[in-house]
Chains A and B, each alone.
Chain A
Amino acid sequence: MIKKTLFAAALAVLATGAFADTLRIGVEGAYPPFSFKQPDGSLAGFDIDIAKALCTQMQRDCELVEQEWDGMIPALKAKKFDAIISSMSITEERKRQIDFSEKYYKTPARIVAPKDSDLQGTAEGLASKRLGVQRGSTHQCYAEAHFPDAELVLYGTQDEVFRDLSLGRIDAQLSDSLIAQEGFLSKPEGANYAFLPGDHTDVDCYGEGVGVAVRKGDDALRDAFSAAIKAIRDNGAYKTINDTYFPFDIYGGRPAGL
């Protein structure tokens, strides 16, 4: 009898211990300014800070796990980590595989090309042009659907897309406008490049914004993230982080002037 009680107690401890376990969060580390490596090798960026703020809000210990972008969803499903906070857009296709919290930001996608090019950001204008996108991103989905005659060039990281654009190996690239502004256009190597006119916002590919991804059926965790996002929006923690990286609030939609 005593044995049984002890056993039950041990089980209870184990169970609560399991719940209070460290929460592992998948991040990318090659998507400035959302997540990037600092000179000393540590991770920094909007996603990273949001992840830490959400963990503080949820009163959980968190561990950030680095993962390459195109293996992000498989790694989540394989339980390498429990959530993805890595600028992952909420889309229907992804929702078949994983669940999302409410959005934590949303910006439109735009095409970047050399300033002196007369490219048009349309299906005809990009026909037989080399268009760079990150493999496995929503931009790959959008480009395949809307620029069927363009020659898509796929890269492992967004950094590589910008590098090859500046080397002239591709004619243009499609990415998040904010990523392009902060990670390329505002830097010396992006000086001779500019956005083509027009936003690219297609719900089929780009969905409702960027959310925290969790495994299907992990409803408690998903709802905890949604509540924590709302809480840090309300208590000012979000604004502090936002203002460290961006001159405008990126939560709502397209920032004015971009």
Chain B
Amino acid sequence: MENLLSFIPLDLPLIVQNLDRFLQGVGVTLGLTFLSLALGGAMAVPLAIARASRHRVLNPLIWAYTYVFRGTPLLVQTYLLYYGAGQFQFVRESWLWGPVLSQAWWCALIAFTLNTCAYTTELLRGAIVDTPKGEVEAAIATGMSHSGRLHRIVLPSAFRRAIPAYSNEVIFMLHGSVVASTITLQDILGVGRWLNGRYYLAYEGLITAAVLYFIIVFAITRVFRWLERRYLRHLERRRDPVVRNIAPPMGVK
């Protein structure tokens, strides 16, 4: 085993020594990613409904918001909030500065939440608009009110159909959370870069970080695969029972 390990051109003992720091990094990454997904997701539901219903005032406003946040890189948004906002005297003197905007963690959480909310809004809007007409008409025919249709037919159906696309958003958000390491936070990549910087290494920190992200993505895809199986069973391609020819076709012996 010793001999085998010596073939790997990595300083493995150094990685093992600092594994506790990496695990703390995993905590920071998971915390930021899933908190922003939860907050952004919760905000996205009403925004998507307003977009899909083409509300005369709200729709253009929300459209502009999602357009800006989907049209610019997450890194730029985070930098603008962390370094940009602090340049203004009135921001530094406001009550938001001390507890929130002066803290790197809050800046990251706000930027990530606004970013994922924009993507999730558009994703849900698409799912809502694509609700099969038949389902809606059937609901109208049985006398359901507008809000009843939304609650009982449109949204449950849209949420289910949005699952596959949303799994991508979750993974993108996880990968996007590396931006936190550029504003001093010790997330997984932050710890990896700390290790590289501390010991003047090229790969060890990055490879350890990559492996940790890989494991997390693996877990996320497993969860979503289970969700899809549970909630999208009705959309699975049906396996037609194979009809066997009882009599061979003409001309075949």
Contact = CB atoms under 8 A, between A and B. Distances in A.
Interface residues of B, number: 17
A229 B199 CA distance: 28
Given A144-B198, A168-B102, A169-B104, A70 B83 contact: no
A77 interface: yes
Interface stretch (A18-26, A39-47, A134-142, A246-254): A134-142
Contacts of A128: none
A186 interface: no
A154 B190 contact: yes
A83 interface: no
A111 B202 CA distance: 28
B184 A94 contact: no
B193 A77 contact: no
Nearest to B91: A167
Given A167-B86, A167-B102, A169-B102, A154 B193 contact: yes
Contacts of A93: 199-200
B197 A73 contact: no
Interface residues of A, number: 24
A105 interface: no
A156 interface: yes
Interface string B198-215: 111010000000000000
Contacts of A153: 184
B202 A77 contact: yes
Contacts of B186: 154
Interface in A139-169: 140-141, 144, 153-156, 160, 163-164, 167-169
A97 interface: yes
Contacts of B193: 70, 135-136, 154
Contacts of B54: none
B182 interface: yes
Nearest to B83: A163
Nearest to B79: A160
A97 B104 CA distance: 33
A167 B199 contact: no
Contacts of A94: 200
Nearest to A75: B202
Contact of B200 (A136, A144, A154): A136
A74 interface: yes
B58 to A, nearest CB: 35
Contact of B184 (A97, A140, A154, A168): A154
Contacts of B65: none
Interface in A198-214: none
B70 to A, nearest CB: 26
B196 interface: yes
A136 B83 CA distance: 21
Nearest to B102: A169
Q: Which 7 A-B pairs have the closest CB atoms?
A: A136-B197, A74-B202, A135-B197, A167-B86, A153-B184, A70-B197, A140-B197
Given A153-B184, A154-B197, 11 more contacts: A70-B193, A77-B202, A135-B197, A144-B198, A154-B193, A160-B83, A163-B86, A167-B86, A168-B102, A169-B86, A169-B102
